[in-house]
A and B are shown apart, each in its own frame.
Chain A
Amino acid sequence: MAAHNLKHALFCAIVTLIISYPILGFNLASEGIDVTLEGAKTSTVLGVLLAALIVFLFQLYRDNIMGSLRQLPAVNPLANRKPMEQSKRLKLESTLLTLMIIGALIWPFIASRGAVDLATLVLIYIMLALGLNVVVGLAGLLDLGYVAFYAVGAYSFALLSQYFGISFWFALPIGALLAALFGLVLGFPVLRLRGDYLAIVTLGFGEIIRILLNNMTSLTGGPNGIGGIPDPTLFGMEFGRRVKEEGNTSFHETFGIAYSGEHKVIFLYLIALVLAVITAIAIRRLMRMPVGRAWEALREDEIAAKSLGLSRTAVKLSAFTIGAFFAGFAGTVFASKQGFISPESFVFLESAIILAIVVLGGMGSQMGVILAAIAVTILPELAREFSEYRMAIFGAAMVLMMVWRPQGLMPMRRIHIELKRQE
């Protein structure tokens, strides 16, 4: 019975060897100025051989193994449960949300400075992912250059503060609006494009922005970036040890408490939290409004949408513009958090990570996207121990996720609408 599996199993084992032996079986060692290739320790080689053997045996008896696995009682008792009642689910969701927000509010006062800083980053990614969710999840427009709008937001603040001395609070709306403007500008040439073509063009757009920032040295400082971006102030109170700008007071003196660097970190975290909550609420409303339904209609069937009088131009542009707007928000907060930005922060990998968050979370689902943003930002930090294999683990997690749960962590659920029978 296993005979027909033999060839396949042998092939799999050889592939395992070909892939893992060159990577694990050799080491580079430096001798003076030369680098020489050495065989790895015997234990490693044995490990590789053992792995190949395991793969061979598994493939050989795959049918038996999978068969007996299937007979085991379901590990996950939740897998077969019926969907919850709408009212019950909403209650549970709102309780969870409230708890999450309360937890987020307490967080900075119990956690270490590093943890609060990381949480700020998580919130920035939540804003980005919620914004991209509009473009990709709802409107179905695959945007691979989303990081460009993030960069526009960050650089608007950095440049405005450098050349005009504009503060965070003024730069925030300006940065978001400028990013939205760029979204609109990008929207026009890609109106007719769909799917792969759209992805390529947006990818190019993202790179154009990054390369421009890199090369307009006189304006943006090129690869050196822009430093000295001011921190946000609270009603004219600064969070530094000394007041930098005339007319401002300092936070710790006003309240008569000792100076602590943590105040600033906590304040930034709270700003990011408020903005993330605003983003989530605004987009949640938009999803239930005609414009949100129009985005989804366009994703589902462009021709039918047009036959009902929806203008493809208006719908696509609104998706791009609103998505970009929130990226601009996130960018401004990011610039303020870092105090220094350079084109390095806005590479394609960032776009890919934000997209991965949206896909992992479940396209169109806000809760899913928020959870995925937390997971994707925090997991690499927790896995610092395995620093070398960090990206490999990340990649493997993505692959497994797509195999077992292609619809995402929490797929989007449609809201029930109560109708009254009309006479």
Chain B
Amino acid sequence: MLEVQNLSMRFGGLLAVDQVSLDVQEHEIVAIIGPNGAGKTTVFNCMSGFYKPTGGKILFEGKEIQGKPDYKISRLGLVRTFQHVRLFSRMTVVENLLVAQHRHLNTNLLSGILKTPNYREKEQKSLDRAAYWLDRVGLMDMANRDAGNLAYGQQRRLEIARCMVTEPKLLMLDEPAAGLNPAETKDLNQLIISLKEDYNVSVVLIEHDMSLVMDISDRINVINQGRPLASGTPDEIRRNDDVIKAYLGEA
């Protein structure tokens, strides 16, 4: 459903991403790994429209999306999280989820000011969806706390829930396990698998936690210094000599 072809991104004299290609099929979890500064997040930023790539194509469900504004790409169903959690910290947890659903609540101003039955019904639906996902990620009891006051692991989960209420087709997670303890990482592991199995969402993730990556990924792409190094199933990657040299470390 997503196809990245020969993506390049140049910042002045620096070629941060050079001819990277990858593809994501429906119902698949794809990981992007590589050493720090390899250009993984830059690839993400190009895919989600934060950067306008200087070369290459990005196809989502057969349509070219490179260079489209970020909010339009997100509306197509390609939603991302961030390396450093970006919540609306002075809004409550449930409000964070309601903001994300503005598209489902596409009503005009007047019907909202007058509280028409149609508006109420839509509002109730988005509240129910928010409640469902809060329950799903175990934050129901925190619903009315300020998002900024949550523990870090909870903020991570809230960010994923916030993406999920937009009903995305493809979820892009930028280092979802960063800063989590082993138990939390395990929960996240199960959550991501369940997103794929139960909600039919494809996932692209950047991650440094190798056990997580190897456990849940269907396929892995390795990037080194902006160039693609290898791609394949976790087993293939584990055995690939180039990857071992560049990233996993030589014994």
Residues of A in contact with B (beta carbons under 8 Å apart):
282, 285-286, 289-291, 293-294, 296-297, 300-301, 303-312, 414, 416-417, 419-422
Q: Are the C-beta atoms of B99 and A310 separated by less than 8 Å?
A: yes
B132 close to A (CB within 8 Å):
yes
Q: Are the C-beta atoms of B71 and A297 separated by less than 8 Å?
A: no
Q: Mark B73-114, 1 if CB is under 8 A from A, else 0.
A: 011000110100011111110110011111101010100110
Chain A residues near B130 (CB-CB < 8 A): 419
Q: Are the C-beta atoms of A300 and B88 separated by less than 8 Å?
A: yes
Q: Are the C-beta atoms of B140 and A297 separated by less than 8 Å?
A: no
Chain B residues near A293 (CB-CB < 8 A): 91, 95, 98-99, 102
Task: Report the separation of the CA atoms of residues A290 and B97 in the bound assembly, to the nearest whole angstrom.
Answer: 11
Smallest Cβ-Cβ distance to A289: which chain B residue: B112
Within 8 A of A (CB), among B53-88: 69-72, 74-75, 79-80, 82, 86-88
Cβ-defined partner of B91 (8 Å) among A285, A307, A414, A419: A414
Smallest Cβ-Cβ distance to A281: which chain B residue: B113
Chain B residues near A297 (CB-CB < 8 A): 88, 91, 99
Residues of B in contact with A (beta carbons under 8 Å apart):
48, 50, 69-72, 74-75, 79-80, 82, 86-92, 94-95, 98-103, 105, 107, 109, 112-113, 115, 127-128, 130-132, 134-135, 140, 143-144, 146, 162-163, 166
Q: Are the C-beta atoms of B131 and A419 separated by less than 8 Å?
A: yes
Q: Are the C-beta atoms of A419 and B99 separated by less than 8 Å?
A: no
Task: Report the separation of the CA atoms of residues A306 and B107 in the bound assembly, to the nearest whole angstrom.
Answer: 19
Q: Are the C-beta atoms of B98 and A312 separated by less than 8 Å?
A: no
Query: For chain A, what secondary structure do more than half of its interface residues adopt (helix, strand, loop), or is it mixed?
Result: helix
Q: Are the C-beta atoms of A307 and B79 separated by less than 8 Å?
A: yes
Task: Report the separation of the CA atoms of residues A300 and B86 in the bound assembly, to the nearest whole angstrom.
Answer: 9
A-B pair count, CB < 8 Å, reads 117
Q: Are the C-beta atoms of B71 and A310 separated by less than 8 Å?
A: yes
Chain B residues near A305 (CB-CB < 8 A): 88, 99
Cβ-defined partner of B103 (8 Å) among A300, A303, A309: A309
Chain B residues near A290 (CB-CB < 8 A): 98-99, 101-102, 105, 107, 112
Q: Are the C-beta atoms of A421 and B140 separated by less than 8 Å?
A: yes
Chain A residues near B128 (CB-CB < 8 A): 420, 422
| Known pairs A310-B99, A421-B131; A300 contacts B89 (CB<8 A) | yes
Chain A residues near B115 (CB-CB < 8 A): 285
Task: Report the separation of the CA atoms of residues A282 and B109 in the bound assembly, to the nearest whole angstrom.
Answer: 10
- Please give 15 more A-B residue pairs, beta carbons under 8 A apart, in addition to A296-B99, A300-B87: A282-B113, A286-B112, A289-B109, A290-B99, A290-B102, A293-B102, A300-B88, A303-B50, A305-B88, A310-B99, A414-B144, A417-B94, A419-B130, A419-B143, A422-B135
| Known pairs A285-B112, A419-B143, A421-B140; A304 contacts B102 (CB<8 A) | no
Most buried by A among B79, B92, B95, B132: B95
Chain B residues near A304 (CB-CB < 8 A): 82, 86-88
Q: Are the C-beta atoms of A311 and B88 separated by less than 8 Å?
A: no
Chain B residues near A311 (CB-CB < 8 A): 69, 71
Chain A residues near B135 (CB-CB < 8 A): 421-422
| Known pairs A286-B112, A419-B140, A419-B143; A414 contacts B105 (CB<8 A) | no
Cβ-defined partner of A414 (8 Å) among B82, B92, B103, B132: B92
Chain A residues near B91 (CB-CB < 8 A): 293, 296-297, 300, 414
Smallest Cβ-Cβ distance to B77: which chain A residue: A309
Most buried by A among B90, B91, B92, B99: B99
List 16 A-B pairs, Cβ < 8 Å: A286-B112, A289-B109, A297-B91, A305-B99, A307-B80, A307-B82, A308-B100, A308-B162, A414-B146, A417-B95, A419-B134, A419-B140, A420-B127, A421-B140, A422-B128, A422-B135
Smallest Cβ-Cβ distance to A284: which chain B residue: B113
Task: Report the separation of the CA atoms of residues A419 and B69 in the bound assembly, to the nearest whole angstrom.
Answer: 34
Q: State the 4 A-B residue pairs at the shortest beta-carbon distance, nearest first.
A: A300-B88, A304-B86, A309-B74, A422-B132
Q: Are the C-beta atoms of B144 and A286 separated by less than 8 Å?
A: no
Task: Report the separation of the CA atoms of residues A291 and B82 in the bound assembly, to the nearest whole angstrom.
Answer: 24
Q: Are the C-beta atoms of A301 and B87 separated by less than 8 Å?
A: yes
Chain A residues near B162 (CB-CB < 8 A): 308
Task: Report the separation of the CA atoms of residues A420 and B127 in the bound assembly, to the nearest whole angstrom.
Answer: 8
Smallest Cβ-Cβ distance to B98: which chain A residue: A293
Cβ-defined partner of B71 (8 Å) among A291, A296, A306, A419: A306
Smallest Cβ-Cβ distance to B70: which chain A residue: A306
| Known pairs A416-B144, A419-B131, A422-B132; A308 contacts B74 (CB<8 A) | yes
Task: Report the separation of the CA atoms of residues A286 and B140 in the bound assembly, to the nearest whole angstrom.
Answer: 26
Smallest Cβ-Cβ distance to B106: which chain A residue: A290
Cβ-defined partner of A417 (8 Å) among B75, B82, B89, B92: B92
Task: Report the separation of the CA atoms of residues A25 and B98 in the bound assembly, to the nearest whole angstrom.
Answer: 62
Chain B residues near A301 (CB-CB < 8 A): 86-89
Chain B residues near A420 (CB-CB < 8 A): 127-128, 131
The minimal Cβ–Cβ distance linking A176 to chain B, given in whole angstroms, is 14
Smallest Cβ-Cβ distance to A421: which chain B residue: B135
Task: Report the separation of the CA atoms of residues A414 and B93 in the bound assembly, to the nearest whole angstrom.
Answer: 11
Q: Are the C-beta atoms of A303 and B86 separated by less than 8 Å?
A: yes
Task: Report the separation of the CA atoms of residues A290 and B109 in the bound assembly, to the nearest whole angstrom.
Answer: 9
The minimal Cβ–Cβ distance linking A29 to chain B, given in whole angstroms, is 57
Task: Report the separation of the CA atoms of residues A414 and B135 in the bound assembly, to the nearest whole angstrom.
Answer: 21
The minimal Cβ–Cβ distance linking A18 to chain B, given in whole angstroms, is 42
Smallest Cβ-Cβ distance to A412: which chain B residue: B90
Task: Report the separation of the CA atoms of residues A243 and B105 in the bound assembly, to the nearest whole angstrom.
Answer: 51
Q: Are the C-beta atoms of B144 and A309 separated by less than 8 Å?
A: no
